[in-house]
Amino acid sequence: MKIISVVGARPNFMKIAPFIRAVEAYNKANAAGIEHLLVHTGQHYDDKMSRSFFKALDIPDADINLDVGSGSHAQQVGQTMMAFEKVVQAQKPDWVVVVGDVNATLACSVTAKKEWVKCCHIEAGLRSGDMTMPEEVNRLVTDRLSDLLLTPDLLSSENLRKEGVAEEKITFVGNIMIDTLEAQRPRAKNLSIQEIIQKNSIPEQSAPSPIITPHSRSTAPHAPLYALMTLHRPSNVDHPDVFTGIFNFLATEVAKDMSLFWPLHPRARQKMEEFGLWQRALACPGLVLLEPLGYHDMLRLNMDARIMLTDSGGLQEESTVLGTPCLTLRWNTERPVTLREHGGASVLVGNNVDRIREEYRRTLSSERRPVRPELWDGKTAGRCLQEILNH
């Protein structure tokens, strides 16, 4: 059997790493092994956000790199389809495996089906209901075309049933992202928070990085007190009024309560400079601006953060398993299993500052409570591979 796995952007890397290890383990145990090829579309062209993750997660170099690079959604999808079509025709795989919901996921699932190759979607069935999100379009199309839909939670399986997907196409396997978290947790735990801050701080900051000290409100004795922040979605950073409002709250309230560590997405940094927020951020006491972090550094900070503020779906999931109280700066989520009403650690606050402030104050009084949804056990990749073999 020949399988081509596809990655295109950083969220894919944490999902494909355990699948590759599952294939390697299968090949060691079976004489009739699986021929596996990894294709990187090159959708994330930023070296710091791509190559470092491959190295950190022990992902082998891609067998084929399509070098698609930046561009509009249409450009990325179109160029990926043209390049991937040649790969499929030359390699003649039995399966194409796509993960997540980036443009590469959509483009390669469409190409696979046009070439009459079976397609498996890992992390199928996620739905936000928000058609303004490009990722939602990618999810819908990919799930409609795929032959095998492997879901991370029971809510996602039910979404597919409601859309009329045949039961034999749907299998609940658990969350493959958590495989990576569990595999990398020991390595991350040994990292020094202070060293992470020192080596990744934006050098232009005039305010020195604060010393992390114990605080009486910490949930664990001698635990540091700090907030962790990520922001990158256009709905939060592309509009001056919205981004300025969020920034003012962070600078005048959160950063006064505790150290606020903010790894900067390139899009957020660009907009801060464009909207006149950059110099204010550099000079803000308590606000520690960081370069984009590697996987282990980010995981280490999340392990002890007093609170997470993010618009990232993956960090919602990690915060649930780690128990980090999480404010999700979105009005909807494709991962409702992470929300407090479903037993998770996250609450939706959108980008309304009054709403963010209200939940921020309420959350500071909450206890850290790790939650593990069903089959988020670190063994999902093996189940994914077995379902492909059984199909």
Coil, strand or helix at 260:
strand
Q: Could you confirm whether 232 is annotated as catalytic?
A: yes
Structure tokens at 146: 């795929």
Q: What angle do CA 345, 350, 356 make, to 5 degrees?
A: 75
Question: What backbone torsions phi and psi does residue 59 show, to the nearest 5 degrees?
Answer: -85, 130
* DSSP E strand boundaries for the chain: 2-7, 35-40, 64-65, 95-99, 118-122, 148-151, 170-172, 226-229, 259-263, 287-290, 307-310, 326-328, 346-348
**Please, is 275 exposed, middle or buried when counting C-beta atoms within 10 Å of its C-beta (0-12, 13-18, 19+)?**
middle
CA distance 146 to 268: 34
How far the first Cα of the chain sits from its last, in Å, is 12
DSSP class of residue 44? -
- Give residue 141's identity as a one-letter amino acid code: V
- The catalytically annotated residue of 36, 40, 232, 342 is 232
**Could you give the residue numbers annotated as active site?**
232
